[in-house]
Structure 1
Amino acid sequence: MAGHSKFKNIMHRKGAQDKKRAGLFSKLSREITVAAKMGMPDPDFNPRLRAAVNAAKAQSVPKDNIQRAIDKAAKGDGENYEEVRYEGYGPGGVALIVEALTDNRNRTATNVRTAFAKNGGNLGASGAVSHGFERLGLIEYGAKAGDADRVFEAALEAGADDVESDVDGHAIWVAVENLHPVARELEKALGEAEGVKLAWKPSLKAEVGEADAATLLKLIDVLDDDDDVQTVWGNYEIPDAVMEKLG
């Protein structure tokens, strides 16, 4: 986890994904298709689709790929994906929420369960850990958007509830119903966001020691590598000193 930050301790995306662009593009395209099928195939009138398109642009997904995913949904082509959520515990008792889009629930459930079992975790029942998180909207900006004071002032003016800033960027938290209105206001002040999404924010964070950190990150990596898994959220906090030892 190069460029360690407090926020990236909540949602882990390993740098090795840069070498797996095809897999990442596929996940982003899947979200675009699902979003377009659930609403109008026009980002201006479909907030979820707009967020999905913005996320794809932030990852340099070609415009043709984005449009192809939207067209597929508009024509009713392609697989019908279902949103599923899994909850469980990782090494050190860390709470994890796994969000997936799948066309085969049995396959996805088996893969997720196996990942937990083989990497020091335990998959729980629905609701096992989500009570320890708050469902919120999340707007992400990179460090180039400005310093902490500038972003905080813009977020406050736009109606955000909280801002977390560090050297890597800014995480702006808002109520779910305010996600897209606030994102639109912030776009006027700070430019296009790197991410606009629904998120799980932990009420309390659990510090993970060196003994459990490596296994925990391996579990998250395995989950993240699964084609059906879109996002892995957790309540873990890994100290900088531990991250440096892990390389």
Structure 2
Amino acid sequence: MAGHSQFKNIMHRKGAQDARRARQFAKLIREITVSARQGLPDPAANPRLRAACAAARQANMPRDTIERAIKKASGGGSGDDFAEVRYEGYGPSGIAIIVEALTDNRNRTASDIRAAFSKHGGALGESNSVAFLFGRLGVVRYPADAASADDMLEAAIEAGADDVESGADGHEITCAVDAFFAVRDALEQKFGEPETAKLDWRPSTSIALGEDAARAVLKLIDALDDSDDVQNVYANFEIPEPVMQALSA
């Protein structure tokens, strides 16, 4: 199980699901707010806002909550002024970690993230200290029943995608960053709204972890993800299935 797909499983293992759901909604609303303020408040004319709304619907956020967030963001009031910040560092066992945040207080966020790294056996690094270990790409996912593997591959290639992986879990289409919106929009016209569509960091190589190391890394990932300012966490580790089963026992 790779690091970039790890976190949904972590969520299912943890307790206090109501609190986590509330944090997830707060992060989604923050992304909707930033997206609406940086572009038009109409999802049809704002690709980033459209992606944020799709992610919110995927998380079962009520439609009126999404609409209120857009309306508030486009109201022109003072509100919170969020900045996009990326942090990089190393975790236990030399795991490389990228943290994406939206914050209205850079000093607070940097302090919280530095403390999380330090408390859980890691170290916050300088900008671009680990980014070279990852590739930036666009990722679009559809459920398996959205299309046959051949139809999805044909449509993705025609749209300008680089690769398609199809299986029982669904279709994953990857593309260059500068082709992301064109690929997503072309596929959406043909197959409807995707399950997810976002820019992602993928590690060029991954480190396989044993049980003790995996437990330490997951504690750090959880601590980072618990921050209200943190939107996404990426890491270059893999947890073999027997180790994951032991951790879940």
User: TM-score w.r.t. structure 1 length?
Assistant: 0.90
- 1:9 Cα deviation (Å)? 3.8
Give identity over the alignment, percent.
Answer: 53
Superposed, 1:1-247 pairs within 5 Å as 8-9=5-6, 14-15=11-12, 16=14, 18-19=17-18, 20-77=20-77, 78-146=79-147, 148-165=149-166, 167-247=168-248
Moved more, 179-188 or 80-89: 179-188
Report the 3-state secondary structure (helix = DSSP H, G, I; strand = E; otherwise coil) of the residue aligned with 1:204. Answer: coil
- 1:14 Cα deviation (Å)? 2.1
Kindly indicate whether the alpha-carbon contact (under 8 Å) linking 1:5 and 1:167 is maintained by their aligned counterparts in 2: no
Paired amino acid for 1:84: V
- 1:114 Cα deviation (Å)? 1.0
Kindly indicate whether the alpha-carbon contact (under 8 Å) linking 1:11 and 1:232 is maintained by their aligned counterparts in 2: no
- 1:83 Cα deviation (Å)? 0.6
Kindly indicate whether the alpha-carbon contact (under 8 Å) linking 1:141 and 1:194 is maintained by their aligned counterparts in 2: yes
Report the 3-state secondary structure (helix = DSSP H, G, I; strand = E; otherwise coil) of the residue aligned with 2:198. Answer: strand
Query: CA 1:212 to 1:159, structure 2 compared with 1: closer, same or farther past 3 Å?
Result: same
Paired amino acid for 2:224: L
Kindly indicate whether the alpha-carbon contact (under 8 Å) linking 2:3 and 2:236 is maintained by their aligned counterparts in 1: no
- 1:162 Cα deviation (Å)? 1.8
- 1:112 Cα deviation (Å)? 0.6
- 1:70 Cα deviation (Å)? 0.9
Kindly indicate whether the alpha-carbon contact (under 8 Å) linking 2:92 and 2:217 is maintained by their aligned counterparts in 1: yes
Query: CA 1:161 to 1:10, structure 2 compared with 1: closer, same or farther past 3 Å?
Result: farther
Equivalents in 2 of 1:138, 1:123: separation in Å?
27
Report the 3-state secondary structure (helix = DSSP H, G, I; strand = E; otherwise coil) of the residue aligned with 2:139. Answer: strand
Gaps of 5+ in 1: none
Q: Give the superposed CA RMSD.
A: 2.2
- 1:189 Cα deviation (Å)? 3.3
Gaps of 5+ in 2: none
Kindly indicate whether the alpha-carbon contact (under 8 Å) linking 2:90 and 2:97 is maintained by their aligned counterparts in 1: yes
Equivalents in 1 of 2:161, 2:29: separation in Å?
28
Kindly indicate whether the alpha-carbon contact (under 8 Å) linking 2:4 and 2:236 is maintained by their aligned counterparts in 1: no
Paired amino acid for 1:67: E
Query: CA 1:171 to 1:70, structure 2 compared with 1: closer, same or farther past 3 Å?
Result: same
Equivalents in 2 of 1:137, 1:10: separation in Å?
19
Equivalents in 2 of 1:172, 1:184: separation in Å?
13
Moved more, 222-231 or 177-186: 177-186
Equivalents in 2 of 1:108, 1:155: separation in Å?
38
Q: How many corresponding residue pairs?
A: 244
- 1:165 Cα deviation (Å)? 4.5
User: TM-score w.r.t. structure 2 length?
Assistant: 0.89
Moved more, 133-142 or 211-220: 133-142
- 1:102 Cα deviation (Å)? 0.6
Report the 3-state secondary structure (helix = DSSP H, G, I; strand = E; otherwise coil) of the residue aligned with 1:56. Answer: helix
